[in-house]
């Protein structure tokens, strides 16, 4: 609240209060003659919301005012300003505008104790008032994440807690992992010792795996006092896990007389130690031709004796893993024959195509010949049964006339 500090402030406030009371008495006496004219006079105010530490502007307006005074008082009913006269000695309170139609004051560096109902009074007869509630928002502190101890082993259950204090009203906490929000979390709200602000916390539980290594888990605090710019805390995860191993050959078809490089690709955290190469469960049989360089096994001038199972083994402080590769050395000539064209197959396909074509031509010829014979037989039909030559000719001509009326189709 806007309370004076010490005897000087109290004396100052009492002195101004006496002066204001005398002035109010004069105004009240004068107002008795203006009762009828003051019926349409009403002070108008609005509620104000401000962030702690900010500046609040309290404005009281009167649309119709016949030179009647205005006054602002705080929730403790202490007069702050009477018209343009300051009543309470508080350097945070300043006059913004004073006229017969408006009295506006500002309160800077607002604290939570300043919250409450403020009154604007218009000294008509009777006195008319309007209330304005000042709401002060408590800004949440920067959040902190606890519960992480590095490193975490793959498969362990991790519990992270995010906490922030000083928010009013209580802030909201949200969790994100790989930019994806996690909904299944626990939320707790507690009132602070000042009984005005809150401490809120949220707990996230999940089981980690190797894909979580290097992932950023973010705790985000949302609150209306932050002007759409949330506060965040971030925890980068460090997960330890056993190696994963894979053998990659330099060629898919190793040939006799050519070199071969087998690369042992191993991933793990901590980074695996230098890998161990073995063949058929024992040491490499020919160190002069089989040279290990880092994670690579170089075999010079392959031959049939190199056939077998090669094993790469990687180890770190968490565990051990391995992979195997079965080497089969191919004869260059056999590979060349396999890669060349198969003439027997091509010849067989051509023979089948020729045979099918000849059969199709033969069947088509027989079909056409049979249909042509039927046509000639029908054309002479009627002439064979005639008793004489003249009748036969007439019957044949009649058949031709009828034939013209028919439509014939040949395939």
Are residues 249 and 163 part of one domain?
Answer: no
Are residues 255 and 222 part of one domain?
Answer: no
H or E segment at 320? Answer: strand 320-327
Report which of residues 102 and 392 the model is more confident about.
Answer: 102
Does pLDDT of 39 surpass 70? no
Does pLDDT of 36 surpass 60? no
Residues 170-195: what's their mean pLDDT? 95
pLDDT reported for residue 347: 74
Are residues 109 and 48 part of one domain?
Answer: yes
pLDDT reported for residue 340: 52
CATH number at residue 282: 2.60.40.10
Q: Count CB neighbours of 194 within 10 A.
A: 11
Q: Round to whole Å and give the CA distance between 258 and 306.
A: 12
Residues 195-223: what's their mean pLDDT? 96
Does pLDDT of 184 surpass 80? yes
Are residues 174 and 226 part of one domain?
Answer: yes
pLDDT reported for residue 391: 55
* Token pair of 155 as six digits: 């498969």
Domain annotation covers residue 342: no
Share of the chain above pLDDT 70, in %: 78
Domain annotation covers residue 385: no
Q: Round to whole Å and give the CA distance between 147 and 142.
A: 17
Confidence of residue 370 (pLDDT cuts 50, 70, 90): confident
Q: Note the pLDDT tens digit of each residue in 298-347.
A: 999 999 999 999 999 999 999 999 999 999 999 988 755 555 555 667 77
Domain annotation covers residue 123: yes
Residues paired with 274 in a beta bridge: none
Does pLDDT of 363 surpass 60? yes
Beta strands in 169-289 (DSSP E): 172-177, 180-182, 186-191, 198-207, 216-222, 231-236, 239-249, 260-269, 276-279
pLDDT reported for residue 373: 53
CA 201 distance to own-chain centroid: 23
Are residues 182 and 123 part of one domain?
Answer: no
- 27-45 as b/e, with b when 16 or more CB fall inside 10 Å? beeebeeeeeebeebbbeb
pLDDT reported for residue 359: 84
Are residues 130 and 215 part of one domain?
Answer: no
230 close to 167: Cβ distance less than 8 angstroms: no
Last residue of a domain, one of 293, 327, 361: 327
Residues 8-14: what's their mean pLDDT? 49
Q: Note the pLDDT tens digit of each residue in 159-176.
A: 999 999 999 999 999 999
Does pLDDT of 212 surpass 70? yes
Domain annotation covers residue 37: no
Q: Round to whole Å and give the CA distance between 154 and 241.
A: 5
Domain annotation covers residue 210: yes
Residues 6+ apart with CB under 8 A from 144: 162, 163, 164, 233
Q: Round to whole Å and give the CA distance between 176 and 129.
A: 50
Report which of residues 67 and 28 the model is more confident about.
Answer: 67
165 close to 138: Cβ distance less than 8 angstroms: no
Quote the number of domains for the chain: 3
Share of the chain above pLDDT 90, in %: 65
Are residues 118 and 153 part of one domain?
Answer: no
Are residues 221 and 158 part of one domain?
Answer: yes
pLDDT reported for residue 384: 53
Are residues 258 and 300 part of one domain?
Answer: yes
Q: Round to whole Å and give the CA distance between 4 and 13.
A: 8
Pairing of β 308-315 and β 320-327 = antiparallel
Question: Tokens 């979580």 sit at which residue?
Answer: 212
pLDDT reported for residue 405: 45
Residues 277-300: what's their mean pLDDT? 94
Q: Note the pLDDT tens digit of each residue in 219-248.
A: 999 999 998 889 999 999 999 999 999 999
298 close to 291: Cβ distance less than 8 angstroms: yes
Closest of 112, 133, 131, 120 to residue 47, by C-alpha: 133
pLDDT reported for residue 2: 47
Q: Note the pLDDT tens digit of each residue in 76-133.
A: 999 999 999 999 989 999 999 999 999 999 999 999 999 999 999 999 989 999 999 9
Residues 179-201: what's their mean pLDDT? 95
Last residue of a domain, one of 222, 237, 252: 237
Are residues 50 and 110 part of one domain?
Answer: yes
pLDDT reported for residue 281: 94
Domain annotation covers residue 364: no
Are residues 105 and 149 part of one domain?
Answer: no
Domain annotation covers residue 335: no
Does pLDDT of 389 surpass 90? no
Are residues 232 and 148 part of one domain?
Answer: yes
Average confidence score pLDDT of the chain: 84
Closest of 219, 81, 60, 239 to residue 140, by C-alpha: 219
Q: Round to whole Å and give the CA distance between 236 and 200.
A: 22
Last residue of a domain, one of 311, 327, 343: 327
Q: Which domain holds residue 128?
A: 43-137
Domain annotation covers residue 266: yes
Report the 3 state secondary structure along 109-166.
CCCHHHCEEEEEEECCCCCEEEEEEEEEEECCCCCEEECCCCCEECCCEEEEEEEEEE
pLDDT reported for residue 402: 46
pLDDT reported for residue 341: 56
Task: Flag the least confident range among 2-11, 193-202, 317-326.
Answer: 2-11
């Amino acid at each position: 609240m806007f309370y004076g500090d010490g005897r000087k402030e109290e004396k100052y406030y009492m002195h101004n209060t006496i002066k204001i009371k005398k002035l109010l008495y004069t105004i009240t006496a004068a107002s008795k003659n203006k009762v009828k004219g003051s019926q349409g006079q009403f002070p108008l105010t609005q509620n104000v919301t401000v962030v702690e530490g900010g500046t609040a502007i309290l404005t009281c307006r009167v649309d119709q005012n016949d030179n009647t005074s205005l006054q602002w008082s705080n929730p403790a009913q202490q007069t702050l300003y009477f018209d343009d006269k300051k009543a309470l000695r508080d350097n945070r309170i300043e006059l913004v505008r004073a006229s017969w139609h408006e009295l506006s004051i500002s309160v800077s560096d607002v604290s939570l104790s300043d919250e409450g109902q403020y009154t604007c009074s218009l000294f008509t007869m009777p006195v008319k008032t309007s209330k304005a509630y000042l709401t002060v928002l408590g800004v949440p502190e920067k959040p902190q994440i606890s519960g992480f101890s590095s490193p975490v082993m793959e498969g362990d259950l991790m519990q992270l807690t995010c906490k922030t204090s000083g928010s009013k009203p209580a802030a909201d906490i949200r969790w994100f992992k790989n930019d994806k929000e996690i909904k299944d979390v626990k939320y707790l709200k507690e009132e602070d010792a000042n009984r005005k602000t809150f401490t809120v916390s949220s707990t996230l539980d999940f089981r980690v795996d190797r894909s979580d290594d290097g992932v950023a888990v973010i705790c985000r605090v949302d609150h209306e006092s932050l002007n759409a710019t949330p506060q965040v805390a971030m925890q980068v995860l460090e997960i330890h896990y056993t190696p994963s191993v894979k053998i990659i050959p330099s060629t898919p078809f190793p040939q006799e007389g050519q070199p071969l490089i087998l690369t042992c690709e191993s991933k793990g955290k901590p980074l695996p130690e230098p890998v161990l190469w073995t063949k058929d469960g024992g040491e490499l049989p020919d160190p002069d031709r089989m040279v290990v360089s880092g994670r690579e096994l170089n075999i010079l001038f392959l031959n049939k004796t190199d056939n077998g199972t090669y094993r790469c083994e990687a180890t770190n402080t968490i565990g051990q893993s391995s992979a195997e590769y079965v080497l089969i050395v191919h004869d260059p000539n056999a590979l060349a024959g396999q890669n060349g064209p198969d003439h027997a197959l091509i010849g067989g396909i051509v023979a089948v195509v020729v045979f099918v074509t000849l059969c199709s031509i033969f069947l088509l010829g027989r079909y056409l010949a049979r249909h042509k014979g039927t046509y000639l037989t029908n054309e002479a039909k009627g002439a064979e049964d005639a008793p004489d030559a003249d009748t036969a000719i007439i019957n044949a001509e009649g058949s031709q006339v009828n034939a013209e009326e028919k439509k014939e189709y040949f395939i």
